[in-house]
C-alpha cells in the first residue's frame, strides 16, 4: 500500500469515527439532561439494539409518560414512549389491570421503577398481540425497562391527530366508526384483549383510518373485570360519535356480539 493510500484510509477511519461521535452526540444531547441514569442506560442499550440513531423532539408529555420521536439507521421514524413517574394514586389505579391478568399477576414489582418496567412490558406485549391479530395499532419494535419503542404514527416528524382533535372535520365518520368496530372484533375475538381505556383520546386518525394507541392497561378477556371494561370502552366511543356526528351508532349490538366472544373465551378456560 502506497503512503497516499494509507493516509486516505486513515483519514477515512477518522472521519467515520467523527461521524459516529457526532451521532452519539445527537443522542446524548437530548437524553442526558432530562433523564435519570437508569433511563439513560436503558435508552442507550435499546438504541444500540434497535439501531436508533437520533432522538428528536417531544411528541407528547403526559403525567406518567413522555413520547419522543426517534430515527433509526434506515431513516424510519419511531415513537419512543418513556415512563417517568407514577404517582401513588396512579399506582393504586393500575393495580386492577395487573392483578387478574394471568400474564402479569405473579410479577413482583416492589419499587416504582419496577412497576414502570412492568407497565412498559405490558404495553409492549399487548401491542404485539394486537399487531399479530392485525388490529390497527403502531407496530411494536422493542422495549427495555421503562421504555417502549413503536412505529411512529404520522409523517415527517408530525404526529397524526387524535380522533378528539379531528372532531367535526372528520371526513367519513361512518366508516371510521365501522373500522373501530372491526378493530374491536379483532382485538377481542382474535387477540383476546380488551383495550380498557378506549376513547377519542386514544385513537389516532392516520391516512383516513383509525389507529388504537395507549394499550398498557389492556387486559386479557379472561380478566375478572373484562366485561365491565368493554362496556365502558364501547359506551365512550358511542358517546363521542353521538355527540359529534350525525350518524347512527350500534354499540349495543356490537357489545352483544363481543360479549359472546369474550364469554366463549372464558368458558373455554373453565371460568
Ligand X SMILES: Nc1ncnc2c1ncn2[C@@H]1O[C@H](COP(=O)(O)OP(=O)(O)O)[C@@H](O)[C@H]1O
Does residue 214 belong to the site contacting Mg ion (CB under 5 A)? Answer: yes
Q: Which stretch binds ligand X (CB under 6 A): 54-62, 102-110, 113-121, 127-135?
A: 54-62
Contact partner, 85, from Mg ion, ligand X, none, Cβ < 5-8 Å per class: none
- Name which of 153, 152, 162, 148 is nearest 65 in CA terms: 148
Question: What CA–CA distance (Å, rounded) separates 103 from 70?
Answer: 29
> Measured from the CB of residue 199, what is the shortest distance to Mg ion in angstroms?
9
Residues 144-203 that bind Mg ion (CB under 5 A): 202
Q: Nearer to ligand X by C-beta: 153 or 170? A: 153
> Measured from the CB of residue 65, what is the shortest distance to Mg ion in angstroms?
9
Question: What CA–CA distance (Å, rounded) separates 182 from 176?
Answer: 10
Return all residues near 113 (Cβ < 8 A) that are at least 6 apart.
38, 145, 146
What does the angle CA 241 – CA 246 – CA 250 come to, to the nearest 5 degrees?
55
Longest dimension (CA), the chain: 80
Contact partner, 138, from ligand X, Mg ion, none, Cβ < 5-8 Å per class: ligand X
Does residue 56 belong to the site contacting ligand X (CB under 6 A)? Answer: no
- What binding mask, one character per residue, do residues 136-175 give for ligand X by CB under 6 A, x or -? --x-----------xxxxx----x--x-------------
- Name which of 131, 117, 11, 9 is nearest 64 in CA terms: 117
> Measured from the CB of residue 263, what is the shortest distance to Mg ion in angstroms?
28
Contact partner, 150, from Mg ion, ligand X, none, Cβ < 5-8 Å per class: ligand X
- What binding mask, one character per residue, do residues 212-251 give for ligand X by CB under 6 A, x or -? -xx-------------------------------------
- Name which of 234, 221, 218, 220 is nearest 264 in CA terms: 221
Contact partner, 67, from Mg ion, ligand X, none, Cβ < 5-8 Å per class: ligand X
Does residue 86 belong to the site contacting ligand X (CB under 6 A)? Answer: no
Q: Nearer to ligand X by C-beta: 118 or 213? A: 213
Does residue 65 belong to the site contacting ligand X (CB under 6 A)? Answer: yes
Contact 194, 221 (CB under 8 A): yes
Cell numbers found for residue 111? 419499587
Residues found in the chain? 271
- C-beta atoms surrounding 180 within 10 Å: 22
Distance of alpha carbon 221 from the chain centroid? 19
Cell numbers found for residue 22? 457526532
Which residue has the CB atom at the shortest distance from ligand X? Answer: 62
- Name which of 26, 86, 85, 83 is nearest 57 in CA terms: 26
What does the angle CA 52 – CA 118 – CA 136 come to, to the nearest 5 degrees?
60
Residues 176-215 that bind ligand X (CB under 6 A): 202, 213-214
Does residue 31 belong to the site contacting ligand X (CB under 6 A)? Answer: no
Contact 214, 158 (CB under 8 A): no
Contact partner, 141, from ligand X, Mg ion, none, Cβ < 5-8 Å per class: none
Judged by the rule CB under 5 A, the positions of this chain that interact with Mg ion are: 202, 214
**Which residues are near ligand X by CB under 6 A?**
59-60, 62, 64-65, 67, 79, 138, 150-154, 159, 162, 202, 213-214
Amino acid at each position: 500500500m502506497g503512503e497516499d493510500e494509507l493516509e486516505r484510509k486513515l483519514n477515512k477511519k477518522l472521519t467515520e469515527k467523527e461521524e459516529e461521535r457526532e451521532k452519539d452526540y445527537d443522542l446524548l444531547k437530548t437524553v442526558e439532561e432530562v433523564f435519570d441514569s437508569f433511563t439513560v442506560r436503558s435508552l442507550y442499550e435499546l438504541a444500540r439494539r434497535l439501531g436508533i440513531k437520533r432522538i428528536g423532539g417531544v411528541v407528547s408529555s403526559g403525567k406518567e409518560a413522555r413520547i419522543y420521536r426517534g430515527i433509526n439507521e434506515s431513516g424510519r421514524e419511531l415513537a419512543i414512549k418513556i415512563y417517568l413517574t407514577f404517582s401513588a394514586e396512579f399506582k393504586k389505579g393500575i393495580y386492577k389491570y395487573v392483578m387478574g391478568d394471568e400474564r402479569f399477576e405473579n410479577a413482583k414489582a416492589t419499587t416504582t421503577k419496577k412497576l414502570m418496567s412492568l407497565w412498559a412490558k405490558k404495553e409492549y406485549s399487548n401491542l404485539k398481540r394486537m399487531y399479530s391479530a392485525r388490529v390497527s395499532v403502531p407496530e411494536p419494535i422493542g422495549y427495555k425497562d421503562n421504555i417502549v419503542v413503536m412505529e411512529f404514527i404520522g409523517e415527517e416528524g408530525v404526529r397524526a391527530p387524535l380522533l378528539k382533535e379531528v372532531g367535526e372535520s372528520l371526513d367519513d365518520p361512518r366508516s371510521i366508526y365501522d373500522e373501530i368496530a372491526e378493530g374491536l372484533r379483532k382485538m377481542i375475538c382474535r387477540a383476546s384483549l380488551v383495550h380498557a381505556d378506549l376513547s377519542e383520546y386514544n385513537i389516532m386518525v392516520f391516512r383516513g383510518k383509525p389507529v388504537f394507541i395507549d394499550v398498557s392497561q389492556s387486559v386479557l378477556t379472561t380478566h375478572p373485570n373484562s366485561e365491565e371494561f368493554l362496556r365502558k370502552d364501547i359506551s365512550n366511543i358511542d358517546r363521542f360519535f353521538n355527540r359529534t356526528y350525525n350518524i347512527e351508532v350500534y354499540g349495543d349490538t356490537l357489545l352483544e356480539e363481543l360479549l359472546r366472544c369474550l364469554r366463549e373465551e372464558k368458558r373455554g378456560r373453565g371460568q
